[in-house]
Amino acid sequence: MESYRMQESALESSVGGSYLLIRPTTQTDEDDQSKARCSKITKVVVGMLLFSIVITCTVLSKLSLISLTSHLNYTIGEIRQIELNNSETATATAMYNRAAGLFWQLLFIILIPQFVTFFRALFFGVCGKQSRTFPWPTRRAIVTGAVASVFEVAAMTIFVFYVLPRLPSSVAILALGGVFSAQALLDSVYLKWSPFVRHHDYMEVDEHNNSTHPKGWAAAWRKRGARLLENKFSRMISLFLQLASVIVLAVIAALQCDSRDRALVGCGTAFSLLVLGAVWSSKVQQESHRAPKMAERTLGSNVIREREHVLPTTGFKSSFINSSLQIVLYSLITVLLSLVDHDINPLCHNDKCSLSRVFAWTAGTTVSGLSFDTFLIQILSSFFGYAFMWISCTMVLHRWGLALPLYLCTPISFFVCFIVSKCDENFSIVRFSKWCSDSVYLEVALTAGAMLWIGQTSTMCVYVWKKKNLILAKDNAMFLTPRYDGVFLEQYMLLNRQVAKGKKSRGTVAPPVAIDDTPRARTIFVCSTMYREDSEEMKQMLSSVYQLGLHYQKRKDEDHDYRDHFESHIFLDGGASGTQLNYFALQLFSLFGETLHVDPKVFQRIDTPYGCQLSWDVADVMPIYVHLKDSFKVKNKKRWSQVMYMNYVLNFRVKRNIRNLRNWRLWDQRATAAPCDKDDVRMDDNNTFILTTDADIQFTPESATVLLDRLDSDPKVGAVCSRTHPQGSGPLYWYQVFDYAIGHWFQKSAEDILGTVLCCPGCFSVFRCSALRSVLDTYSTEVTSASEFLTKDMGEDRWLCTLLVEKGWRLLYCAISENYTHCPESMDEFFKQRRRWIPSTVANLSLLISHASQITKGNDRISMLFVVFEAIMVFSTAISPATVMMVIAAGFTSSFGIEPTTTIALLLVFCLLYAAVCLYGDPQLQLDIAQVSTFLFSLLMGVVVVGYVINIEQDIQNVTATILNWTGEGARGPLPTFIQPSTIYLFIYVLVFLVATALHPSEWTCILHFIWYIIALPSGYLVLLIYSAANLDNRSWGTREAASSGGQVGVYKSATRIAEKVWTRAMLCLDQCTCRPVIPPLLPPALPPLPENCKDPLSAPPLPSLAHEADETCFMQPEAGRADLVDRREFQLTADVHRWLDTLECGQYAQCFEQHGYHTVHLIADMKSEDFDALGISERGHRLRIEREAKRLTSLPIERAIPDDVTDWLQKLELQGYSRLFNACGYSSKEDLESVKGLTMDDLKKMGINKRAHQQRLLQGTKRLAYPSAVEVSISQSKVILENSSKQEVEDEDEEKLFWTGLLRTTLEPMKATFMSDVELKGKLKSLRNTVLCVMLLINLMWIVLILTLKIPISGTYKIPEQTLTLLFLFIYTVVLLIQFLAMIVHRCITLVHYLARVGPQSEADAF
């Protein structure tokens, strides 16, 4: 396939100037740079805040623990002294109680993290809905975990209760940082030998000329430093430093203790630190959490391995088993110590339980002489330290919130303790414990501590500093086990950090490889559906795609390892007709040069089985393809466009890529072999995504990127949607601003937190290809029932998401991703749009509820409570008309004292009448009545608002009077006055929206449109629901069905049209009831004879009336002599028409076409049904064949322009045969074109132009006499370019053509309307419509009767007032609102974490 490309010199000399392929620097670039600087500062500030919190928590945790153990050591010394003196006094009892209380505090410090892990694992891994995600560990893993738990409990007991209390404070702080030596030993054993520096550490590849050149000195030394730390020799040095330090600290600890405790302290220190380091090492942790091989194969298919490289783990199930075992073991240890240890009796002493003394919460109370604050500080600081470390890793700020604080924890703790001990002798650590008895020991301890810290730092650089995880990653992607330790907080978190491992690499850091050791990267297909959008809407979508291409190019330039690949595909319905492109395809083509900054002349054009394909390269890195669909070759509408690009990506691009790259080299061989081509990206269903957009969407590259974060963070997420903002102007736009806001603030946030989002709209969402593959076959099926029509064709996006939920996928809502789309600005278009949305939403929710048992079993995010919540939402939608009626009735009762029953009765009458109009009236009449009623209801809602304000004022006065009455001296009035439920609900409603606005500071202006939403409440929940339910059988799309969008229709115009229709109907009825004399009609004027086969007397139209025919006879008679002025040779049938009719075997009708002026195929292509009626073709089969094939012909659109003269104008219309006639009538020069523009049908008949086709063509030409707009000029130029371009047809043996041919044959081939069960489907839709209307009427009537008859008497003279008729409604809505509000708060917290993770530079180096 060869592309149509111009030479460089020709491009420079082409008309219109050259096209810049590189975007110049603008004010927007400067703003982006300023925004980037601010973002970087914000990132640093957040990082410093996290560092401060984590370092404070870790230091407090360490120092408070040492304080408690120092107290225990002091207490044991006092007990021994008392035993030596044989004194049994009150002091001895107090000391025994103090020792027991301290023991329990230390035990709780160990057990509380175990209990947190136990309950967390119980909820998520055993009993929760997500428990099926984690398999049970193997027997070997269970045994390994049990043995490790036994050793951990033994080592922890010895260290906490026997070693740590006897250590000097300085040695204790250093010993708490000595667990890491066992991990260094394992690294030294398993790490392979490697050279210090490799060739590619200081050389880099130039991709443009395939050459290498030295790197900068900074990058080279950075690589050499990283290689040095990964070298086995350097690990051996680190191991030697750490082991030597631990031995030295153990010796110093033994020498500093009493003689009888030296052996216990010395051996216990070394044993505890080495054993804890061994059982917490990554090797043992992975073995104890190993899943069965079958589970690895099953779950591994859904894991995103190209980023995390984490094998499926038993996760919470193993943690549940291990934490349960450790809790039991610590309980046994407690009993054992009470029997064998005389110094510490943890159970009781002197018949008094010491456990009850641990939790003395009274202010100032001490526990056996020790303040409870120290214990509480240790517990809280450990927990919050772990929590903020977890948050830091989630935000990809682990260097600030994990690595750096943990590096500095021991030095800072040592320094703080030293400074405080010098300044305050009463400090608890030095009050009950010595700092160090000898300065020589202190110097040796400091030296050993420095060696230990250096050795750990060199090892931790590999474990923590270089580890990269995804934004909002799951626990198993960040940590080996979902737990923390209260004693060795920072040491355990360092060892617990997840380490990436390749399949064959046994080191601690693995390259970015997949399971099969092939390089991976994400591939994102940006797929857009388009129909009849205007130029501005197309322009903003193309500009967004261009910005995405620039972002992609920038990332590749900044990071040579960045391998993500983007492509853009646009599918235009009806974009091509045969070999010709329609108006909207030309309009799209004309915008490419302006929006994408590409040369529109440099493109590739291919004729495909479905129509035509055009392609460009955007920013030299991102290809864009335009697929122009031919309506006669492929199915139309959005769902089938989605089926096209899903099949194209999944069944062609992905499969072809896997087949072509099957023999890739392993990653370990790339060091000595030539690197793979960066463009040859490995694609599979897990690392390939489809970004769906509408043709009028506007988005930023960041909005597209953040959606991928949520997909990468969880392999069970099938799709992610973003926050959609409407664009437009006028009151209807203001209404939709608030409507969109509450829909995302409350509904989508609640769905995201409580279960799963139920609709990821196709306007801007990202879908995982593996998820789409699981539902594609079902999504490609035809409609067979009325309910399927509502779910499939009226709400294709929601139905796709329903299928994904049924298959077990989770759908998310990402609030920091934003997009903007044009919303309807006219009432007609708005009602037609919601006519599709409302029934499809209710139908899909009903489908979800009906399949609740099946979905809850297959989807771990869906529970019955979530299904009940959605059922309440459906029920609240069904009773919305009755609810609105009661709201209006309550307002009228407060304002005018009208009985609620009267108001509701009148509203019911209106609803029934409007429903009748929707069932039997004209579609435009329905919309006109809706618009007028919206205006009237808005006025009524003003009265309702005033009524509720009166109610609130009365409630305030009543409550104030009651309070004054009951607080007065000796005054006691009647029972207090209750606030009306409506007032309480309004207060909650306003409060919730104010808090929601505060939580969305960037969208605070949405709350200003609250008033429009309230005023239009009856229209949105009463009129619109009736209109939607009554038009369930309407199968039209509703919006963008005309080539040109109409403007807004005002209330006055709608009211005028209604009045005209009512007057016409009244006059018709009056005319039918009045006796009038019968006047025989005149015969019509004689027409030229037609062929016999063209006469059809049975189908002849009725004869006109006398007066009308008499007038027309006068107009239709041409003036004498003008017939000779028409050049009839120009109007003879062309060879194309003869050839076309002969192909259809209908050549006998050639004279019919010529008689009526259809002498060219372009004129035949414009024919409508009534034009074929005028031909008078008698044979029905011939008529249908000609009409069917005429739709395949290409029409000749009339361009808006001012020709040189009338003759030029007629030539463009292909009616140059009338040149002499127009000249004779005074229309010749360019100035006469102004007169030509005012010609009417009567004028043409008077001139002697009686052929139907010529009349229509001339009238169309007069309408196009105008100065062309800039868009139309660009379209004309594009048309010229396309006509001069070379077309390349896909070869028969081409793989892509075979794919499209097979897909069209099996799925996308247009179905003949004659053979479709349209009549049956229409009958089913009408039956469904009638059922829905009856059910809605019944439910709303029952609800109204229930509320109106509700009277709740209360003992005494008080009775709830009449305004409480909406009590149940308010209760239901309040519960739903509060649930959504709480879910929104949780979702905002997640959004905040995601936002802070995305602020500033994205690379780890820049982030730090």
Ranges of H-type helices in 1237-1366 = 1241-1247, 1252-1263, 1270-1284, 1295-1303, 1318-1348
Question: At 207, which amino acid appears?
Answer: E
Q: Provide CB contacts within 8 A for 103, sequence distance 6+.
A: 72, 161, 337, 344, 346, 354
Q: Are 749 and 1384 in contact (CB under 8 A)?
A: yes
The number of beta carbons lying within 10 Å of the beta carbon of residue 122 is 17
Rounded to 5 degrees, φ, ψ at 554 are: -65, -40
Q: How confident is the model at residue 805 (pLDDT cuts 50, 70, 90)?
A: very high
Helix, coil or strand: residue 717: strand
Strand duo 604-608 + 366-367: pairing: unpaired
CB-based contacts of 670: which residues, under 8 Å, 6+ apart? 676
Between CA 820 and CA 840 the distance in angstroms is 23
The H or E element that residue 555 is part of is helix 535-558
pLDDT band at 254; cut points 50, 70, 90: confident
CB 490 within 8 A of CB 614: no
8 A C-beta contact, residue 726 and residue 821: yes
Lowest pLDDT segment from 515-519, 824-828, 846-850, 1372-1376: 515-519
- Highest-confidence segment of 683-692, 1086-1095, 1100-1109, 1268-1277: 683-692
pLDDT of residue 1064: 59
What is d(CA 862, CA 856) in angstroms, rounded to the nearest whole number?
5
The two structure tokens encoding residue 689: 């995504």
Write the pLDDT tens digit of every residue in 1392-1402: 989 888 886 54
Instruction: Report residue 788 CA to chain centroid gap.
Output: 25
CA distances to 26, 33, 39, 46, 1404 from 1401, in Å: 22, 12, 8, 13, 8
670 band by pLDDT with thresholds 50, 70 and 90: very low
CA 1343 from centre of chain: 37
Rounded to 10°, the helix 731-742/827-850 angle is 20
The pLDDT, as a whole number, for residue 1058 is: 61
Angle at 41 between CA 35 and CA 44, to 5 degrees: 140
Strands (E), 403-453: none
CA distance 683 to 650: 10
Ranges of H-type helices in 780-899: 786-788, 796-806, 827-850, 852-858, 864-878, 880-896
Higher pLDDT, 601 or 1287: 601
Instruction: With beta carbons less than 8 A apart as the criterion, state whether 1336 and 878 touch.
Output: yes
- 787-800 average pLDDT score: 88
pLDDT tens readout for residues 313-349:
667 888 889 899 999 999 888 878 767 665 666 665 4
pLDDT at position 753 = 93
CA distance linking residue 870 with residue 867, whole number of Å: 5
Q: How far apart are CA 201 and CA 41, in angstroms?
A: 31
302 pLDDT more than 90? no
pLDDT at 426: 54
Q: Which of 489-503, 990-1004, 1377-1391 has the lowest mean pLDDT?
A: 489-503
Q: Is 213 strand, coil or helix? A: strand
The model's pTM: 0.82
Highest mean pLDDT among 655-664, 975-984, 1323-1332: 1323-1332
Type of residue at 115: F
Burial of 913 (0-12, 13-18, 19+ CB in 10 A): exposed
Give yes or no for a contact between 947 and 1366, defined as CB atoms under 8 angstroms apart: no
965-1017 tens-digit pLDDT: 666 555 455 545 566 767 777 888 889 999 999 999 989 999 999 888 889 99
**pLDDT at residue 619, rounded to an integer:** 66
Q: What's the whole-number mean pLDDT along residues 400-412?
A: 88
pLDDT at residue 962 is higher than 80: no
Res. 287 pLDDT band, cuts 50 70 90: confident
- What is the chain's Cα-based Rg? 41
Would you state the pLDDT for residue 1367? 62
Determine the distance from the C-alpha atom of residue 558 to the mean position of all C-alpha atoms in its chain, rounded to a whole number. Answer: 27
pLDDT of residue 1294: 77
Q: Which of 655-664, 689-698, 1245-1254, 1280-1289 has the highest mean pLDDT?
A: 689-698
The model's pLDDT over 615-626, given as tens digits with 9 standing for 90+, comes to: 888 767 788 999
Query: Which burial class, exposed, middle or buried, applies to 1276 when counting CB atoms under 10 A from its CB (0-12, 13-18, 19+)?
Result: middle
Q: 3-class secondary structure for 364-411?
A: CCEECCEEHHHHHHHHHHHHHHHHHHHHHHHCCCHHHHHHHHHHHHHH
Query: 301-305, 698-702, 1375-1379: which has the minimum mean pLDDT?
Result: 301-305
Q: If you average pLDDT over residues 753-758, what whole number do you get?
A: 92
- Does position 306 have pLDDT exceeding 80, yes or no? no
Q: Picking from 53-57, 418-422, 818-822, 856-860, which range would have the lowest pLDDT averaged per residue?
A: 418-422
CB-CB neighbours of 1122 under 10 Å: 16
Q: Is the pLDDT of residue 449 over 70?
A: yes
Listed in sequence order, the residues at least 6 apart from 562 whose beta carbon sits closer than 8 Å to its beta carbon are 555, 556
111-143 pLDDT, tens per residue?
Answer: 999 999 999 888 887 776 666 667 788 888 889
Q: Is pLDDT of 275 > 70? A: yes
- Distance CA(1233)–CA(1179), nearest Å, equals 43
> What pLDDT does 1038 receive?
65
- 781, 872, 901, 979, 1364 from 1371: Cα distances, Å: 42, 12, 21, 14, 11
Provide the pLDDT confidence category of residue 1104 given band limits of 50, 70 and 90.
very low
CA dist 1373 and 1381 (Å) reads 12
Q: How far is CA 108 from CA 105, 183, 330, in A?
A: 5, 27, 10
> Contact 1241/1262 with Cβ under 8 angstroms?
no
Identify the weakest region by mean pLDDT among 152-161, 212-221, 403-412, 495-504. Answer: 212-221
Percent of the chain that is helix, strand, coil (3-state, to 5): 65, 10, 30
Instruction: Using the predicted structure, report yes or no on whether residue 1221 has a pLDDT greater than 90.
Output: no
**How many CA atoms lie less than 13 Å away from 1058 in the CB half-sphere?**
17
Count of C-beta atoms within a 10 Å radius of residue 439: 8
CA distances from 600 to 21, 223, 535, 543, 696 (A): 11, 44, 16, 15, 21
Report CA dihedral (646, 652, 653, 654) to the nearest 10 degrees. Answer: 90
Closest of 542, 569, 722, 532 to residue 646, by C-alpha = 569
Q: In the prediction, which pLDDT does 511 show?
A: 30
Q: Scan for tokens 């006796």, then name that residue.
A: 1075
Q: Which amino acid is at 1264?
A: R
Answer whether 334's CB lies under 8 Å from 346's CB.
yes
pLDDT at 1388 (0 to 100): 94
Higher-pLDDT residue of 178, 609: 609
